[in-house]
Structures are given as C-alpha cells and as structure tokens.
C-alpha cells in the first residue's frame, strides 16, 4: 500500500540555502532520552498491568498450571545441559582471545580466523588517509554533501505525508520550475499514519534562535492524538523539535513520577483521538489551531508548546479548520455533524454563527479575494459558497450564494488560487481534478483531468506569483505531480488576462517525482474534448439563488 494523504507548498525563500545535518551530541541525547523515558514508563506500566492480570488468571485457575510449570522446568534443565556441552566443544577454539596478536602481525597461531591473512597490511591502509578506497578527503566529501543539499532561492519545497508498506514518512520535495523538475530532498520518519500537515514560519523549541524570528518548520497530525513539529532546515533528524499533546514536548515533561495511562476522555489540555486538520495563524504566528476526531478544536501556543484553549463547537469529528485572512481571530471549522462554524477565538462562550450542509463536511476555505465569503466541500461531491453576513436562524435553513455539484463522489480536496481571482481546483475520490472559473454569476468548469494519482487526496496551488499556475496533486497511488495549468489552452483563455505579467507555457507540462507514463499524460486534444461541455454542464449542475 502506498498513498499520499496530504501535501502543501512552502513559499520561495523560506528554506535555508544549505540545510544543516542533524547533530546527535550529548545535549540532544539527553533531550531525546528524557522524552523517550516517558514512553518507556508507559510501556513498563502496561507490561506490569498485563503481568498482574496474568497472575490473577493463574490464581483463579488454581493448580491447573502446575503441570505446565513442571514441563517448562524440565525443558529449562535440558537446555542448561545442552549449553554446558556446547561450551566444552568451543573451548578448544579459545574464541574469547581470537583477536590477540601473536607478535608477528598475524593472529594467534592455531586460530581458525588466520585465513584473513596479513592484519598488518589491513591496519596500514586503515590509517593511510591518502588511500581513496578507504576514506575520501574530508573537505571534498563535505563539499559534495553541501552541494547535494542546496536549495536555490527560485526553488519551492513541496511537503507530502506518505504511507508506504506500513511505514509513514514526511517527504520533502524540491520543485525547480525552470527545469520542470520535482525530486525528493529528504524525508522524515513518522510514528503513525499522517492525516494532515501545516507549514510554520516560526521556530519552535530551537535553541539559540529568537522565538519570533522567521523559520522553516512543519506541524504534522496523525492517527495518534499528538502533533509533531519538525525543523525542515535540518536533515536526518530522528526526533521532533516539539510534541503538542500528552506526549510532551521537546523539553520533555519535567515530572519525575510515572505518567498516568493516556485517557480517552476529551479534555482542555490535549487531544485524545486522531488529529484531522491543522491551521497556522499568519498574523499571530505563535498560534496553531488543530481539529480532532475527539470532537474538539485546540488552540496551541507554539512559544510554550501548551494548549492555550479548547473549544467544543461540534457534536462529531471536526475535520477542517481555517483562519480568516483578515479578521485573524476568527476560525472557520467544519465537522461530520454537517455544520460549519465561524467563531471568534477571543469569545469562546459567545453564541457562534452556524451553517448546515447536506452531508459530512470534507474541507472549508475562506475566499482569499473576498473577506465575507467562504467555501465548503462535502462527501456527496458538492461545493457550497456562503456569505458570512447571511447567518441562518437554524442550520437546516441555510441558503448559500450558490451550490455546485462538482464531482460524483466526495470532494476530498480543493484549493483557491491566492494570486489569480476566481481560480479554483477540486480533487475527488473519483480520481479526477477539475479547474473552475468562479465568476459573479457562479462557477464554470474549465477543464477536467485524470492525472493518474489514484483517488485524489490533495490539490494545492503554489503560493508565489511566479508559479501561480502550478498545481500539486497527490493521492492513493503514492505519487505526486505538479501540473503547470497555464500550458492548457482552456486555462489560458480563462485566466491569462488576469495575470498579464505572468509568463504562460505553450505545451502541456506535468511534472512528477517519477517519469510520467504515456497513459497518464493526457494531451491537449483530450483536454479540448473535456472542455467542450464546460459551460452547459456546470450551469446545469449549479443551483443559483
């Protein structure tokens, strides 16, 4: 099994030109040991409970275990006798002293390992720094490693959470737009199946760095209730900089007593179920919002790595959260209870506006070009567009500005282009990606494509104006493609006039980590066939109020 569950672009210039190699020194060992000890305490506690339960069962069964005990004791005695006989057989080889020197540069005479020949010669080459077969010159090796890790100012990072053969990774790609190249820069092992990620521009628990300076970090939510935060400018890290939740943080929990067994009851301090969505506040940079299957929303202070506030606005799993781009304290949230809430985090006890939809919410997004509107995608393939000023008295009486039947199956992902107004991309479990032109009269489909990524779990636009037409798409096949949508004739016709200073391509470009097979690269001719029904079909699918 291989799949990519979530992906996100990192703006140009955010990554360090030369990421540093992870340094496992004494202080790092102490930091990890302190956190790992807490996990070991949990394991020991579980083991003791299991042993106690086993003893209780044996006591309850009376003497029924006595026969088994005798059998085990007899087997143990036989094993001991066999070990003594084996020791006697090995004595003649004196293996404990097999590597002692006999004074002539070889091994002790009579030892079976003397077939390895002249040990003196081997020792000579190990200490000879000039032998290129033994050791490369340090400066040459370091220069090559440094060059391999370099990230240019014109490069973008594309992050992806990937599951492959029961192993979970955070994969850091580099996208070189000039070369149409996407490759894996490095990856990070994760403890559980990842479900969401969010890029952070603030350092978290990084020694010697101003806590408000610019940085290149990422928060990852998984099936576990904890949120891990990693430094993307450090390669080959083995433990996160911080852990938000009951697992502690990078400084470790200071209590010396054993941590109590993790509770499954929702509380105000940490999540107790899978983390489904993350949203970083770009104005108040130390704030991170998380949504969980435990039905709560948590607000984390990244300076302290502690939960600042917990909110319970929904009666089912909370699957998506998004901060308002202008009113930076307002958080939009969507849930499996089929409602959307826009709440001011400064007034947790106030009555919140609530909207309803026809099925489980998949994703929520604010309109980046209109601060009074937001989008919602649902499991039934719908996309709704709402005016925040039009709050229904009851969620069942919700009246959206417009409703679009975008796909036949769940709209598992969608994104709004922050540079080009009215440019929306939707991805579905029906394996297609669609481009939409949002006009005052409503949405019109521009093009539909199957990019051969399987069920689509992530569609996200590049954040920089120079690459505004680039769309990263990933899904159930575990592959990612970057589609230069400007190379599509229908897309150029719909949007090129909105960005006159942005160069557009002339031939279809689809970039992936692996070479794209011929059957997955739909040609311009296929696009034209799918574009032909754009106006009529999308109008019929849309219910305009």
pLDDT tens per residue, range 210-229: 888 999 999 999 999 999 99
* Mean pLDDT, contiguous 10-residue spans, the chain (545 residues): 94 93 72 65 70 73 52 52 57 56 46 41 46 55 69 96 93 95 94 96 89 94 96 91 78 40 77 97 96 97 95 97 96 98 91 96 97 97 97 94 97 97 97 96 96 97 96 96 96 86 58 51 42 44 47
Q: Look at residue 454 and tell me if it is in a domain.
A: yes
pLDDT at residue 540, as a whole number: 44
455 class by beta-carbon count within 10 Å (0-12 exposed, 13-18 middle, 19+ buried): middle
CA-CA distance, 95 to 116, in Å (whole number)?
A: 16
Domains contained in the chain, number = 1
One DSSP character per residue, 96-158 reads GGTT-B-SSSSBPTT-GGGGG--HHHHHHHHH-TT-TTT---HHHHHHHHHHHH---TTEEEE
Q: Look at residue 268 and tell me if it is in a domain.
A: no
3-state SS, residue 529 = helix
Q: Look at residue 474 and tell me if it is in a domain.
A: yes
Tell me which residue range forms the domain holding 539: 415-545
pLDDT at residue 270, as a whole number: 95
CA distances from 352 to 390, 396, 413, 498 (A): 13, 15, 26, 37
Nearest to 155 by CA among 172, 131, 138: 172
Q: Are strands 509-512 and 480-484 parallel, antiparallel or unpaired?
A: antiparallel
Q: Is the separation of the CB atoms in 318 and 297 below 8 Å? A: yes
Strand partners, 7: 160
CA-CA distance, 194 to 223, in Å (whole number)?
A: 6
pLDDT at residue 253, as a whole number: 42
pTM for the whole thing? 0.74
Q: Look at residue 471 and tell me if it is in a domain.
A: yes
pLDDT at residue 173, as a whole number: 97
CA distances from 208 to 203, 204, 211, 213, 351 (A): 10, 11, 9, 11, 43
pLDDT at residue 51, as a whole number: 74
User: What single DSSP character describes residue 260?
Assistant: P
Q: Is the separation of the CB atoms in 108 and 100 below 8 Å? A: yes
Helices and strands per DSSP (H, E), number in the chain: 7, 31
Q: Please, which residues have CB within 8 angstroms of residue 387's CB and are 6 or more apart in sequence?
A: 372, 373, 401
Q: Please, which residues have CB within 8 angstroms of residue 338's CB and are 6 or more apart in sequence?
A: 356, 357, 358, 359, 360, 361, 395
Q: Look at residue 543 and tell me if it is in a domain.
A: yes
Q: Look at residue 199 and tell me if it is in a domain.
A: no
pLDDT at residue 85, as a whole number: 57
Q: Look at residue 498 and tell me if it is in a domain.
A: yes
CA-CA distance, 357 to 414, in Å (whole number)?
A: 17
- Sign of the four-CA dihedral 484, 488, 490, 493: positive
Q: Look at residue 511 and tell me if it is in a domain.
A: yes
Q: Is the separation of the CB atoms in 481 and 472 below 8 Å? A: yes
pLDDT at residue 209, as a whole number: 86
3-state SS, residue 20 = strand
């Amino acid at each position: 099994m291989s799949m990519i569950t979530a992906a996100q672009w990192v703006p140009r210039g955010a990554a360090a030109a030369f990421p540093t190699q992870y340094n496992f020194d004494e202080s790092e060992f102490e930091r990890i040991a302190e956190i790992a000890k807490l996990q070991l305490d949990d394991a020991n506690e579980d083991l003791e409970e299991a042993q106690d339960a086993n003893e209780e069962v044996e006591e309850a069964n009376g003497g029924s275990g006595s026969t088994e005990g005798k059998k085990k004791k007899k087997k143990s005695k036989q094993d001991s006798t066999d070990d003594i006989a084996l020791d006697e057989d090995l004595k003649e080889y004196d293996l404990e002293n097999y590597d002692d020197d006999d004074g002539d540069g070889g091994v002790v005479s009579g030892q079976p390992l003397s077939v390895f020949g002249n040990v003196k010669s081997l020792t000579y080459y190990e200490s000879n720094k000039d032998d290129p077969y033994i050791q490369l010159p340090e400066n040459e090796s370091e220069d090559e490693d440094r060059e391999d890790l370099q990230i240019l100012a014109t490069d973008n990072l594309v992050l992806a959470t990937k599951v492959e053969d029961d192993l979970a990774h955070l994969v850091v790609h580099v996208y070189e737009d000039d070369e149409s190249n996407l490759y894996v820069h490095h990856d990070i092992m994760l403890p559980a199946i990842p479900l969401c990620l969010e890029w952070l521009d603030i350092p978290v628990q990084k020694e010697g760095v101003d806590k408000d300076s610019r940085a290149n970090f990422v928060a990852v939510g998984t099936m576990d209730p904890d949120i891990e935060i990693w430094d993307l400018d450090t390669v080959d890290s083995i433990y996160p900089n911080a852990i938000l939740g009951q697992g502690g943080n990078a400084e470790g929990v200071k209590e010396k007593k054993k941590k109590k067994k993790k509770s499954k009851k929702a509380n105000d301090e940490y999540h107790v179920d899978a983390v489904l969505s993350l949203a970083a506040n770009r104005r108040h940079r130390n704030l991170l919002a998380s949504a969980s299957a435990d039905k709560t929303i948590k607000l984390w202070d990244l300076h302290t790595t502690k939960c600042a506030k917990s909110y319970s606005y929904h009666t089912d799993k909370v699957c998506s959260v998004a901060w308002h781009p202008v009113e930076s304290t307002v958080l939009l949230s969507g849930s499996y209870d089929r409602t959307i809430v826009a709440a001011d985090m400064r007034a947790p006890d106030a009555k919140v506006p609530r909207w309803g939809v026809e099925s489980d919410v998949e994703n929520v997004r604010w309109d980046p070009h209109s601060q009074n509107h937001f989008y919602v995608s649902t499991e039934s393939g719908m996309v709704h567009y709402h005016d925040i000023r039009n709050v229904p008295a009851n969620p069942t009486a919700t009246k959206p500005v417009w409703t679009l039947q975008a796909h036949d199956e769940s709209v598992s992902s969608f994104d709004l282009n922050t540079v080009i107004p009215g440019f929306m991309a939707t991805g579905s479990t029906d394996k297609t990606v669609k481009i939409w032109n949002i006009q005052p009269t409503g949405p019109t489909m521009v093009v539909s494509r199957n990019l051969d990524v399987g069920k689509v779990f992530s569609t996200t636009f590049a954040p920089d104006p120079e690459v505004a037409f680039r769309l990263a798409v990933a899904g159930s096949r575990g592959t990612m493609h970057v589609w230069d949508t400007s190379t599509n004739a229908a897309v150029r016709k719909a949007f090129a006039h909105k960005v006159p200073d942005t160069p557009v391509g002339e031939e279809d470009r689809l970039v992936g980590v692996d070479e794209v097979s011929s059957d997955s690269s739909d040609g311009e001719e296929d696009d034209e066939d799918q574009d032909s029904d754009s106006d009529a079909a999308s109008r019929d699918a849309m219910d305009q109020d």
